[in-house]
Amino acid sequence: MARLSPGLRRALTFGGQAPLPVGALIVAMVLATVGGTVWPPLGDGLVLLAPRLEAPTWVVLLEAWRLVTWPLVQERLPGSLITLFFAAFMLLWLGRQLSYAWSERRFVTRFFVLSAGAGAATLAVLVPLGVPAAYFGIWAVLNALLVTWGLIFPSQRISWFGAVQMTGATVARVFTVGTPVWAVVVGWSSLGLLGALVAYLPHLAAIGLAWLLVAGGPRRGWFRLQDWWQRRTLERQRRKFKVISTDRPRPKEWMN
């Protein structure tokens, strides 16, 4: 990154308007989508695939690059023009704030951790069941990043189209609860309950992983759970004791 020419760096950062990794992700998303439209085998080689029951599972391991490339491939043009515009806008806005909160390197690392983690969790469910499926599109990771932003900036406010305002904490809760509800409501009529959950597996996995990453991972989350349980136990024990003020007369049953 540091060896890039000034002209290329300026192009990837859109004239200094975006952190370098964020601009590079937007450019990669556009190139993958355009390339997949012009040459379909390119797009087919980047999407996340769950093999059929008769396919050997080791094929998935040999094509591990799909775990990090599937969010970059959108619907083929011209159907993905609106998707590219809004996805680039959301990635720019979220990437700018999260890069400042973490660092540019940590942002791009966590972007691909969310991508690979959600993809691996999806395959871990579908491959043993023998359910074939293909996944692409950046919205699963963007939703997870939006939940992450809400958890990191719980008091910051966001306005949706100038009509609805929410705090970051509210945004995190709405997207966490709303994603499975949306999956069931939208997919019930056409896909059924199981089909709807299968279609939204990457979204659910990415949001769950976002909560885990903000909590600091499994180990830190376990320590926080232990701390919460200890404080809860102490609070319950404290309620069992009777507090006696020394300023008031001692009751007859009080003994030294």
**Contact present, 204 and 179 (Cβ < 8 Å):** yes
Q: Which of 32-36, 67-71, 101-105, 195-199 has the lowest mean pLDDT?
A: 195-199
**Per-residue confidence band for 1, with pLDDT thresholds at 50, 70 and 90:** very low
For the chain, the C-alpha Rg in angstroms (whole number) is 24
Q: In whole angstroms, give the CA distance from residue 50 to residue 124.
A: 9
Q: What is the pLDDT of residues 138-188, one digit of tens each?
A: 999 999 999 999 999 999 988 876 678 899 999 999 999 999 888 888 766
Mean pLDDT of 80-101: 93
φ, ψ of residue 194 in degrees (nearest 5)? -65, -45
CA distance 118 to 116: 6
Secondary structure, 3-state, the chain:
CCCCCHHHHHHHCCCCCCCHHHHHHHHHHHHHHHHHHHCHHHHHCCCEEECCCCCCCHHHHHCCCHHHHHHHCCCCCCCCHHHHHHHHHHHHHHHHHHHHHCCHHHHHHHHHHHHHHHHHHHHHHHHHHCCCEEECCCHHHHHHHHHHHHHHCCCCEEEECCCEEEEHHHHHHHHHHHHHHHHHHHHHHHHHHHHHHHHCHHHHHHHHHHHHHHCCHHHHHHHHHHHHHHHHHHHHHHCCCCCCCCCCCCCCCCCC
User: Which domains can be identified in the chain, with CATH numbers?
Assistant: 6-238 (1.20.1540.10)
Flag whether pLDDT at 251 surpasses 90. no
- Name residue 68's amino acid: V
Write down the pTM of the prediction: 0.81
